Structure 1
Amino acid sequence: MNSASCAATFPEARPWWRLDLKADYRVSIVVVTYREDCCPDNRKDFEVRFGSSLLDNGNTNPSCAAISSDLVANSVTYSCSDRMGQHVNVLISGFFKVLLLCEVEVYESDFFTQSFLKIAFDSTADLTDPSVKDNVLKKLKSALALRGITNVTLSWSQTPEKAVIQNQHENG
């Protein structure tokens, strides 16, 4: 990212930036994106801290990770080990330092949890027809929404195939 979409502190001792999530969340991952177009010297001695304390502006919360060497990548993923907290702090150690940040992403532990559901369709509809296939997903999403499940993405893990399965009653 270039400087047009980034923030920077003034040169100071131990500059920091904090995100207040407004409530405690179980966070597993924090992704920090730094400037890629300048200042590689300012991409070392970073630390991400996460917790609920505001002591020293939140900079005493437990550390998710510390980067002491120069970063090659401009985006780094830090693991917070499913810790509970409200404040995410990014800080840089030392005197006369500038903190340059372009983006901070915070992911709850549940964000990475996926559920898989296998459904057998008892239908004469041709699920190999793309319009029928998409319509089934729309109907399923609507049925889930009626039950309060709205934060879902539905997709086919395999392309539906035509299968002829005789009803057990026909064989009896």
Structure 2
Amino acid sequence: MLVFYAATCLWLVVEAGVTGVHNVALNGVATQSSNRQKAGNAIDGITGDKSCSWTEVEADPWWRVDLREKHWIGDINITNTNRKDMAGIAGAEIHIGDSDRNHGNDNPKCATVETIQLGATQTFPCNGMQGRYVNIIRPGNDKQLSLCEVGVFGQPLFVIEACE
């Protein structure tokens, strides 16, 4: 005799409020399209030029932090390098979502970086977008992407599963 058990599950996503928002990128894992300087430098909490990430000059360079679980994202802070010869941020796009397809670059867009002055930090509001991956891609040929620090300010989303 065959017995089948069917479970009905209810998933409840509890969205965190704005209290307790902190830089969740510090516990993430960073990767990028090429490694002139390692991707993890952009999430080490150090904003100086000795700890930046840079890609090679290439087509569509990208950088990604895996937050390891889904998060509510309030703001993204990006700190540019002080070095004019290494500055590569103008025109970059910030994407947030749960897919790692195309390295996460197909996720919904939060903002486009017009420019950030050398050595400056700029804040990009993402208004509560949700996702596990935060990607920065600089579309185009012969581009380099440089990031001295990326702060992702948010909170984890808690998923509660109840099955019968």
Letter of the aligned partner of 1:30 in structure 2? I
Query: 2 CA distance for matches of 1:101 and 1:11?
Result: 14
Question: Alignment identity in percent?
Answer: 31
How many residues get paired? 109
- Does 2:116 match 1:71? yes
Verify the 8 A CA contact 1:82 1:109 in the aligned structure 2.
no
1:45 aligns with 2:91: yes
Distance in 2 separating the partners of 1:95 and 1:27:
30
1:69-126 CA distances to partner (integer Å, 9 max, x unpaired)? Answer: x33362111111101100001111111111111111111169xxxxxxxxxxxxxxxx
Q: Secondary structure of the equivalent of 1:94? A: coil
Q: Which runs of 4+ in 1 moved over 3 A?
A: none
Match of 1:16 in 2: 62
Tell me if structure 1 keeps the 8 A contact 2:80–2:117. no
Residue 121 of structure 1 corresponds to none
Q: Provide the C-alpha distance between the structure 2 equivalents of 1:104 and 1:71, rounded to a whole number of angstroms.
A: 13
CA contact (8 A) 1:34 1:102 kept: yes
Q: Which has the higher strand share?
A: 2
Distance 2:49 2:87 in 1: 16
- The equivalences for 1:1-172 within 5 A come to 1-39=47-85, 42-68=88-114, 70-72=115-117, 74-108=120-154
Distance 2:150 2:140 in 1: 21
Relative contact order (C-alpha < 8 Å, sep 6+): which is higher? 2
Q: Deviations over 1:12-54 (max 9, x none)?
A: 1010010000000111111111102223762311111111111
The separation in 1 between residues aligned to 2:75 and 2:48, in whole angstroms, is 24
Structure 1: 5+ residue stretches without partners: 111-172
Q: Partners of 2:125 and 2:67 in 1: how far apart? A: 17
**Aligned Cα root-mean-square deviation (Å):** 1.9
1:45 and 1:39 mapped to 2: Cα distance? 17
Indicate conservation of the 8 Å contact 1:40/1:71, yes or no. Answer: no
Instruction: Assess if the C-alpha contact under 8 Å between 1:45 and 1:92 holds in 2.
Output: yes
Q: Confirm or deny: 8 A CA contact 2:80 2:116 kept in the other structure.
A: no
- Hey, what's the Cα distance between the residues in 2 that align with 1:57 and 1:32? 20
Indicate the SS of the match to 2:141: coil
